[in-house]
Chain A
Protein backbone atom coordinates (compact mmCIF):
# COMPACT_ATOMS: atom_id res chain seq x y z
CA UNK A 1 0.00 0.00 0.00
CA UNK A 2 1.32 3.39 -0.89
CA UNK A 3 0.19 5.11 2.30
CA UNK A 4 2.24 2.77 4.45
CA UNK A 5 5.40 3.61 2.55
CA UNK A 6 4.60 7.29 2.80
CA UNK A 7 4.08 7.00 6.55
CA UNK A 8 7.28 5.03 7.05
CA UNK A 9 9.23 7.51 4.94
CA UNK A 10 7.88 10.47 6.86
CA UNK A 11 8.66 8.77 10.18
CA UNK A 12 12.25 8.11 9.12
CA UNK A 13 12.71 11.57 7.62
CA UNK A 14 11.33 13.24 10.74
CA UNK A 15 13.60 11.14 12.92
CA UNK A 16 16.68 11.93 10.85
CA UNK A 17 16.01 15.67 10.68
CA UNK A 18 15.26 15.78 14.38
CA UNK A 19 18.56 14.06 15.14
CA UNK A 20 20.47 16.63 13.10
CA UNK A 21 18.64 19.55 14.67
CA UNK A 22 19.08 18.13 18.17
CA UNK A 23 22.80 17.67 17.59
CA UNK A 24 23.07 21.32 16.56
CA UNK A 25 21.13 22.55 19.61
CA UNK A 26 23.19 20.36 21.94
CA UNK A 27 26.47 21.76 20.67
CA UNK A 28 25.32 25.36 20.65
CA UNK A 29 23.57 25.47 24.03
CA UNK A 30 25.29 27.99 26.27
CA UNK A 31 24.06 26.40 29.46
CA UNK A 32 25.78 23.09 30.20
CA UNK A 33 22.78 21.65 32.06
CA UNK A 34 20.64 22.20 28.98
CA UNK A 35 23.32 20.62 26.81
CA UNK A 36 23.44 17.51 29.00
CA UNK A 37 19.66 17.00 28.96
CA UNK A 38 19.61 17.55 25.19
CA UNK A 39 22.34 14.94 24.88
CA UNK A 40 20.26 12.44 26.84
CA UNK A 41 17.32 13.14 24.52
CA UNK A 42 19.69 12.68 21.58
CA UNK A 43 20.59 9.24 22.93
CA UNK A 44 16.91 8.31 23.10
CA UNK A 45 16.29 9.34 19.51
CA UNK A 46 19.46 7.55 18.43
CA UNK A 47 18.01 4.33 19.84
CA UNK A 48 14.92 4.82 17.71
CA UNK A 49 17.19 5.38 14.71
CA UNK A 50 19.02 2.12 15.37
CA UNK A 51 15.68 0.33 15.65
CA UNK A 52 14.62 1.73 12.28
CA UNK A 53 17.97 0.73 10.78
CA UNK A 54 17.27 -2.87 11.81
CA UNK A 55 20.21 -3.09 14.23
CA UNK A 56 18.61 -4.31 17.49
CA UNK A 57 21.89 -5.24 19.22
CA UNK A 58 23.23 -1.73 18.78
CA UNK A 59 19.85 -0.31 19.83
CA UNK A 60 19.99 -2.35 23.04
CA UNK A 61 23.47 -1.10 23.83
CA UNK A 62 22.53 2.50 22.99
CA UNK A 63 19.43 2.28 25.18
CA UNK A 64 21.41 0.96 28.12
CA UNK A 65 24.34 3.33 27.77
CA UNK A 66 22.76 6.41 26.23
CA UNK A 67 19.53 6.51 28.20
CA UNK A 68 20.92 5.47 31.53
CA UNK A 69 24.64 5.56 32.07
CA UNK A 70 25.74 8.56 30.01
CA UNK A 71 23.09 10.81 31.52
CA UNK A 72 24.07 9.84 35.05
CA UNK A 73 27.79 10.17 34.26
CA UNK A 74 27.47 13.61 32.66
CA UNK A 75 25.20 14.95 35.40
CA UNK A 76 27.56 13.69 38.05
CA UNK A 77 30.53 15.26 36.29
CA UNK A 78 28.64 18.54 35.96
CA UNK A 79 27.96 18.52 39.68
CA UNK A 80 31.66 18.09 40.38
CA UNK A 81 32.63 21.05 38.20
CA UNK A 82 31.17 23.56 40.62
CA UNK A 83 32.80 23.95 44.00
CA UNK A 84 29.39 23.84 45.70
CA UNK A 85 26.57 23.15 43.26
CA UNK A 86 25.29 26.60 44.12
CA UNK A 87 26.54 29.35 41.91
CA UNK A 88 26.81 27.94 38.44
CA UNK A 89 26.81 31.12 36.47
CA UNK A 90 30.58 31.02 36.57
CA UNK A 91 31.32 27.50 35.49
CA UNK A 92 28.43 26.24 33.40
CA UNK A 93 28.41 28.97 30.79
CA UNK A 94 30.52 28.10 27.80
CA UNK A 95 32.80 30.50 26.02
CA UNK A 96 30.64 31.71 23.16
CA UNK A 97 32.72 34.48 21.65
CA UNK A 98 32.30 34.30 17.86
CA UNK A 99 35.39 33.37 15.90
CA UNK A 100 36.88 35.66 13.26
CA UNK A 101 35.27 35.66 9.83
CA UNK A 102 38.10 34.02 7.93
CA UNK A 103 38.13 31.12 10.37
CA UNK A 104 34.40 30.72 9.92
CA UNK A 105 34.75 30.68 6.12
CA UNK A 106 37.60 28.17 6.25
CA UNK A 107 35.57 25.86 8.48
CA UNK A 108 32.53 26.18 6.25
CA UNK A 109 34.48 25.39 3.05
CA UNK A 110 36.20 22.36 4.57
CA UNK A 111 32.84 21.06 5.80
CA UNK A 112 31.38 21.45 2.32
CA UNK A 113 34.32 19.54 0.85
CA UNK A 114 33.94 16.72 3.40
CA UNK A 115 30.19 16.56 2.73
CA UNK A 116 30.76 16.34 -1.03
CA UNK A 117 33.36 13.62 -0.56
CA UNK A 118 31.13 11.60 1.75
CA UNK A 119 28.11 12.00 -0.47
CA UNK A 120 30.03 10.89 -3.53
CA UNK A 121 31.44 7.79 -1.83
CA UNK A 122 28.07 6.82 -0.32
CA UNK A 123 26.19 7.31 -3.57
CA UNK A 124 28.73 5.34 -5.59
CA UNK A 125 28.21 2.21 -3.48
CA UNK A 126 26.07 -0.45 -5.15
CA UNK A 127 22.53 -0.49 -3.80
CA UNK A 128 22.28 -4.18 -3.05
CA UNK A 129 25.54 -4.89 -1.29
CA UNK A 130 25.69 -8.18 0.52
CA UNK A 131 28.95 -7.61 2.37
CA UNK A 132 30.07 -10.56 4.39
CA UNK A 133 26.65 -11.83 5.48
CA UNK A 134 26.62 -14.90 3.16
CA UNK A 135 29.95 -16.06 4.61
CA UNK A 136 28.80 -15.42 8.15
CA UNK A 137 25.53 -17.28 7.62
CA UNK A 138 27.42 -20.16 6.08
CA UNK A 139 29.80 -20.51 9.02
CA UNK A 140 27.15 -19.85 11.66
CA UNK A 141 26.59 -23.55 12.31
CA UNK A 142 30.23 -23.96 13.28
CA UNK A 143 30.30 -20.94 15.53
CA UNK A 144 28.29 -22.33 18.44
CA UNK A 145 25.62 -19.62 18.56
CA UNK A 146 22.67 -18.66 16.36
CA UNK A 147 22.90 -14.88 16.57
CA UNK A 148 25.21 -13.66 13.80
CA UNK A 149 26.24 -10.56 15.77
CA UNK A 150 27.34 -12.62 18.77
CA UNK A 151 29.13 -15.05 16.46
CA UNK A 152 31.08 -12.22 14.84
CA UNK A 153 31.89 -10.47 18.13
CA UNK A 154 32.87 -13.49 20.17
CA UNK A 155 34.07 -16.01 17.64
CA UNK A 156 35.02 -14.76 14.19
CA UNK A 157 36.43 -11.44 15.46
CA UNK A 158 37.10 -12.44 19.03
CA UNK A 159 40.48 -10.74 18.81
CA UNK A 160 38.78 -7.34 18.52
CA UNK A 161 36.70 -8.03 21.61
CA UNK A 162 39.83 -9.00 23.52
CA UNK A 163 41.37 -5.66 22.67
CA UNK A 164 38.15 -3.84 23.58
CA UNK A 165 38.23 -5.39 27.04
CA UNK A 166 41.83 -4.24 27.39
CA UNK A 167 40.83 -0.72 26.32
CA UNK A 168 38.11 -0.59 28.98
CA UNK A 169 40.60 -1.66 31.61
CA UNK A 170 43.12 0.95 30.51
CA UNK A 171 40.44 3.64 30.59
CA UNK A 172 39.59 2.65 34.13
CA UNK A 173 43.24 2.77 35.15
CA UNK A 174 43.46 6.23 33.62
CA UNK A 175 40.50 7.45 35.66
CA UNK A 176 41.87 5.91 38.85
CA UNK A 177 45.24 7.48 38.39
CA UNK A 178 43.88 11.03 38.41
CA UNK A 179 44.10 10.77 42.14
CA UNK A 180 40.80 12.14 43.40
CA UNK A 181 39.18 10.31 46.23
CA UNK A 182 35.62 9.42 45.20
CA UNK A 183 32.74 10.94 47.12
CA UNK A 184 29.93 8.66 48.16
CA UNK A 185 26.35 9.83 48.53
CA UNK A 186 24.56 10.15 51.83
CA UNK A 187 23.00 6.78 52.58
CA UNK A 188 19.28 6.45 51.98
CA UNK A 189 18.30 10.08 52.18
CA UNK A 190 14.73 9.23 51.29
CA UNK A 191 12.66 6.13 52.01
CA UNK A 192 11.24 6.25 48.50
CA UNK A 193 14.74 6.17 47.00
CA UNK A 194 15.57 3.32 49.36
CA UNK A 195 12.52 1.38 48.19
CA UNK A 196 13.12 2.08 44.52
CA UNK A 197 16.76 1.02 44.57
CA UNK A 198 16.01 -2.14 46.54
CA UNK A 199 13.27 -3.08 44.09
CA UNK A 200 15.05 -2.15 40.86
CA UNK A 201 18.38 -3.81 41.67
CA UNK A 202 17.26 -7.45 41.54
CA UNK A 203 15.05 -6.73 38.52
CA UNK A 204 17.99 -5.14 36.68
CA UNK A 205 20.27 -8.06 37.55
CA UNK A 206 17.66 -10.47 36.22
CA UNK A 207 17.30 -8.48 33.02
CA UNK A 208 21.10 -8.48 32.61
CA UNK A 209 21.23 -12.25 33.04
CA UNK A 210 18.35 -12.61 30.58
CA UNK A 211 20.11 -10.47 27.98
CA UNK A 212 23.31 -12.46 28.43
CA UNK A 213 21.49 -15.76 27.93
CA UNK A 214 19.32 -14.66 25.06
CA UNK A 215 22.33 -13.19 23.23
CA UNK A 216 23.06 -16.61 21.82
CA UNK A 217 20.00 -16.68 19.60
CA UNK A 218 18.44 -13.21 19.65
CA UNK A 219 19.69 -9.63 20.04
CA UNK A 220 21.55 -9.30 23.30
CA UNK A 221 24.96 -10.31 24.50
CA UNK A 222 27.77 -9.44 26.82
CA UNK A 223 28.05 -5.70 26.25
CA UNK A 224 24.36 -5.03 26.66
CA UNK A 225 24.15 -7.16 29.79
CA UNK A 226 27.32 -5.54 31.11
CA UNK A 227 25.92 -2.04 30.68
CA UNK A 228 22.80 -3.02 32.62
CA UNK A 229 25.01 -4.31 35.42
CA UNK A 230 26.86 -1.00 35.28
CA UNK A 231 23.51 0.73 35.72
CA UNK A 232 22.92 -1.43 38.81
CA UNK A 233 26.22 -0.21 40.21
CA UNK A 234 25.33 3.40 39.43
CA UNK A 235 21.92 3.03 41.07
CA UNK A 236 23.43 1.53 44.22
CA UNK A 237 26.09 4.22 44.42
CA UNK A 238 23.48 6.96 44.02
CA UNK A 239 21.34 5.44 46.77
CA UNK A 240 24.15 5.54 49.27
CA UNK A 241 25.24 1.90 49.25
CA UNK A 242 28.70 1.38 50.73
CA UNK A 243 31.15 -1.48 50.80
CA UNK A 244 31.24 -3.01 54.23
CA UNK A 245 33.94 -5.62 54.29
CA UNK A 246 37.66 -5.38 53.73
CA UNK A 247 37.67 -8.41 51.43
CA UNK A 248 35.22 -6.68 49.08
CA UNK A 249 37.93 -4.37 47.83
CA UNK A 250 40.03 -7.29 46.62
CA UNK A 251 36.95 -8.97 45.18
CA UNK A 252 36.05 -5.91 43.16
CA UNK A 253 39.53 -5.69 41.70
CA UNK A 254 39.39 -9.39 40.81
CA UNK A 255 36.05 -8.92 39.04
CA UNK A 256 37.43 -5.96 37.11
CA UNK A 257 40.31 -8.05 35.87
CA UNK A 258 38.32 -11.22 35.22
CA UNK A 259 37.05 -10.23 31.79
CA UNK A 260 40.30 -9.32 30.04
CA UNK A 261 42.20 -12.14 31.70
CA UNK A 262 39.59 -14.71 30.70
CA UNK A 263 39.96 -13.58 27.11
CA UNK A 264 43.73 -13.72 27.26
CA UNK A 265 43.65 -17.14 28.95
CA UNK A 266 41.25 -18.42 26.29
CA UNK A 267 43.51 -17.03 23.56
CA UNK A 268 46.56 -18.77 25.02
CA UNK A 269 44.71 -22.07 25.51
CA UNK A 270 43.27 -22.11 22.01
CA UNK A 271 46.65 -21.22 20.59
CA UNK A 272 48.17 -24.19 22.37
CA UNK A 273 45.39 -26.60 21.35
CA UNK A 274 44.44 -25.53 17.87
CA UNK A 275 47.46 -23.54 16.79
CA UNK A 276 45.59 -20.31 16.12
CA UNK A 277 44.55 -17.43 18.36
CA UNK A 278 40.97 -17.81 19.64
CA UNK A 279 40.13 -20.68 17.32
CA UNK A 280 37.50 -22.57 19.30
CA UNK A 281 36.98 -26.29 18.66
CA UNK A 282 33.53 -26.28 17.00
CA UNK A 283 32.11 -28.89 19.34
CA UNK A 284 32.65 -26.76 22.43
CA UNK A 285 32.38 -23.33 20.86
CA UNK A 286 28.98 -22.58 22.40
CA UNK A 287 30.13 -23.35 25.92
CA UNK A 288 33.37 -21.40 25.54
CA UNK A 289 31.50 -18.39 24.21
CA UNK A 290 29.12 -18.53 27.18
CA UNK A 291 32.01 -18.63 29.65
CA UNK A 292 33.74 -15.70 27.94
CA UNK A 293 30.52 -13.72 27.78
CA UNK A 294 29.75 -14.25 31.45
CA UNK A 295 33.15 -13.04 32.63
CA UNK A 296 32.98 -10.18 30.16
CA UNK A 297 29.55 -9.13 31.48
CA UNK A 298 30.71 -9.03 35.09
CA UNK A 299 33.84 -7.17 34.15
CA UNK A 300 32.10 -4.59 31.97
CA UNK A 301 29.48 -3.96 34.64
CA UNK A 302 32.08 -3.46 37.35
CA UNK A 303 34.18 -1.24 35.05
CA UNK A 304 31.27 1.04 34.19
CA UNK A 305 30.24 1.36 37.83
CA UNK A 306 33.84 2.07 38.83
CA UNK A 307 34.07 4.72 36.07
CA UNK A 308 30.98 6.37 37.52
CA UNK A 309 32.54 6.28 40.98
CA UNK A 310 35.56 8.09 39.60
CA UNK A 311 38.22 6.64 41.84
CA UNK A 312 39.31 3.44 43.54
CA UNK A 313 36.61 2.23 45.96
CA UNK A 314 37.42 2.47 49.62
CA UNK A 315 35.75 1.67 52.91
CA UNK A 316 33.98 4.06 55.22
CA UNK A 317 36.67 4.47 57.83
CA UNK A 318 39.32 5.42 55.31
CA UNK A 319 37.42 8.40 54.07
CA UNK A 320 39.03 11.81 54.33
CA UNK A 321 36.79 14.37 56.03
Chain B
Protein backbone atom coordinates (compact mmCIF):
# COMPACT_ATOMS: atom_id res chain seq x y z
CA UNK B 1 0.00 0.00 0.00
CA UNK B 2 1.57 3.22 -1.16
CA UNK B 3 1.07 6.72 0.15
CA UNK B 4 -1.57 7.34 -2.54
CA UNK B 5 -3.48 4.30 -1.34
CA UNK B 6 -3.49 5.51 2.26
CA UNK B 7 -4.52 8.99 1.19
CA UNK B 8 -7.42 7.83 -0.95
CA UNK B 9 -8.50 5.42 1.78
CA UNK B 10 -8.60 8.27 4.30
CA UNK B 11 -10.61 10.42 1.91
CA UNK B 12 -13.08 7.65 1.20
CA UNK B 13 -13.57 6.78 4.86
CA UNK B 14 -14.20 10.45 5.64
CA UNK B 15 -16.73 10.53 2.81
CA UNK B 16 -18.46 7.49 4.23
CA UNK B 17 -18.59 9.21 7.63
CA UNK B 18 -20.37 12.15 5.98
CA UNK B 19 -22.85 9.73 4.44
CA UNK B 20 -23.44 8.33 7.92
CA UNK B 21 -23.95 11.88 9.20
CA UNK B 22 -26.46 12.55 6.45
CA UNK B 23 -28.41 9.40 7.23
CA UNK B 24 -28.37 10.10 10.96
CA UNK B 25 -29.60 13.61 10.25
CA UNK B 26 -32.40 12.27 8.11
CA UNK B 27 -33.44 9.92 10.91
CA UNK B 28 -33.02 12.15 13.92
CA UNK B 29 -33.71 15.74 12.92
CA UNK B 30 -37.11 17.07 13.90
CA UNK B 31 -38.60 18.56 10.74
CA UNK B 32 -38.45 18.66 6.95
CA UNK B 33 -36.13 21.63 6.66
CA UNK B 34 -33.43 20.28 8.95
CA UNK B 35 -33.60 16.88 7.31
CA UNK B 36 -33.17 18.53 3.93
CA UNK B 37 -30.10 20.30 5.28
CA UNK B 38 -28.64 16.99 6.45
CA UNK B 39 -29.05 15.12 3.24
CA UNK B 40 -27.48 17.80 1.08
CA UNK B 41 -24.36 17.44 3.20
CA UNK B 42 -24.20 13.80 2.22
CA UNK B 43 -24.56 14.84 -1.42
CA UNK B 44 -21.88 17.50 -1.31
CA UNK B 45 -19.15 16.34 0.96
CA UNK B 46 -19.82 12.63 1.22
CA UNK B 47 -19.88 11.98 -2.49
CA UNK B 48 -17.19 14.57 -3.17
CA UNK B 49 -14.70 13.00 -0.78
CA UNK B 50 -15.40 9.49 -2.05
CA UNK B 51 -14.93 10.64 -5.63
CA UNK B 52 -11.70 12.44 -4.75
CA UNK B 53 -10.43 9.25 -3.15
CA UNK B 54 -11.37 7.25 -6.24
CA UNK B 55 -9.73 9.73 -8.62
CA UNK B 56 -6.39 9.28 -6.90
CA UNK B 57 -6.55 5.61 -7.81
CA UNK B 58 -7.32 6.04 -11.49
CA UNK B 59 -4.92 5.97 -14.38
CA UNK B 60 -6.76 7.94 -17.05
CA UNK B 61 -7.89 11.54 -16.98
CA UNK B 62 -11.05 10.95 -19.02
CA UNK B 63 -12.51 8.67 -16.39
CA UNK B 64 -11.56 11.20 -13.72
CA UNK B 65 -13.39 13.82 -15.76
CA UNK B 66 -16.45 11.60 -15.86
CA UNK B 67 -16.38 11.18 -12.08
CA UNK B 68 -16.08 14.91 -11.52
CA UNK B 69 -18.99 15.43 -13.93
CA UNK B 70 -21.08 13.00 -11.88
CA UNK B 71 -20.27 14.91 -8.71
CA UNK B 72 -21.09 18.29 -10.27
CA UNK B 73 -24.41 16.98 -11.57
CA UNK B 74 -25.34 15.55 -8.17
CA UNK B 75 -24.45 18.92 -6.62
CA UNK B 76 -26.51 20.83 -9.14
CA UNK B 77 -29.56 18.59 -9.05
CA UNK B 78 -29.39 18.18 -5.28
CA UNK B 79 -29.15 21.89 -4.64
CA UNK B 80 -32.00 22.84 -6.95
CA UNK B 81 -34.25 20.08 -5.66
CA UNK B 82 -33.52 21.09 -2.08
CA UNK B 83 -34.55 24.65 -2.87
CA UNK B 84 -37.74 23.50 -4.60
CA UNK B 85 -38.74 21.21 -1.75
CA UNK B 86 -38.05 23.84 0.91
CA UNK B 87 -40.00 26.46 -1.02
CA UNK B 88 -42.90 24.08 -1.52
CA UNK B 89 -42.89 23.18 2.15
CA UNK B 90 -43.03 26.85 3.14
CA UNK B 91 -45.90 27.43 0.74
CA UNK B 92 -47.80 24.54 2.27
CA UNK B 93 -47.18 25.92 5.76
CA UNK B 94 -45.20 22.98 7.01
CA UNK B 95 -44.32 23.99 10.54
CA UNK B 96 -40.74 24.80 11.42
CA UNK B 97 -39.48 23.08 14.49
CA UNK B 98 -39.06 25.37 17.47
CA UNK B 99 -37.26 24.28 20.57
Listed in ascending order, the chain A residues whose CB lies under 8 Å from chain B are 190, 192-193, 195-196, 199-200, 203
Contact = CB atoms under 8 A, between A and B. Distances in A.
A200 B81 CA distance: 13
B28 interface: no
Given A190-B87, A192-B87, A200-B77, 13 more contacts: A190-B84, A192-B80, A192-B83, A192-B84, A193-B80, A193-B84, A195-B80, A196-B76, A196-B77, A196-B80, A196-B81, A199-B76, A203-B73
Counting contact residues on chain B (CB < 8 A from A), the size range is: under 10
A147 B99 CA distance: 59
Residues of B contacting A: mostly: helix
7 contacts: A190-B87, A192-B83, A192-B87, A193-B80, A196-B76, A196-B80, A203-B73
Interface in B77-94: 77, 80-81, 83-84, 87
Contacts of A192: 80, 83-84, 87
Contacts of B84: 190, 192-193
Nearest to B87: A190
Contacts of A203: 73
Q: Which 3 A-B pairs have the closest CB atoms?
A: A196-B80, A192-B83, A192-B80
A190 B83 CA distance: 10
Contacts of B81: 196
Contacts of A195: 80
Contacts of B73: 203
Contacts of A196: 76-77, 80-81
A190 B85 CA distance: 12
Contacts of B80: 192-193, 195-196
A212 to B, nearest CB: 17
B69 to A, nearest CB: 9
Nearest to B88: A190
Nearest to B69: A203
Contacts of B87: 190, 192
A199 B72 CA distance: 12
Nearest to B80: A196
Contacts of B76: 196, 199
A219 to B, nearest CB: 15
Interface in B53-99: 73, 76-77, 80-81, 83-84, 87
Contacts of A200: 77
A192 B82 CA distance: 10
A239 to B, nearest CB: 11
A174 to B, nearest CB: 33
Contacts of A193: 80, 84
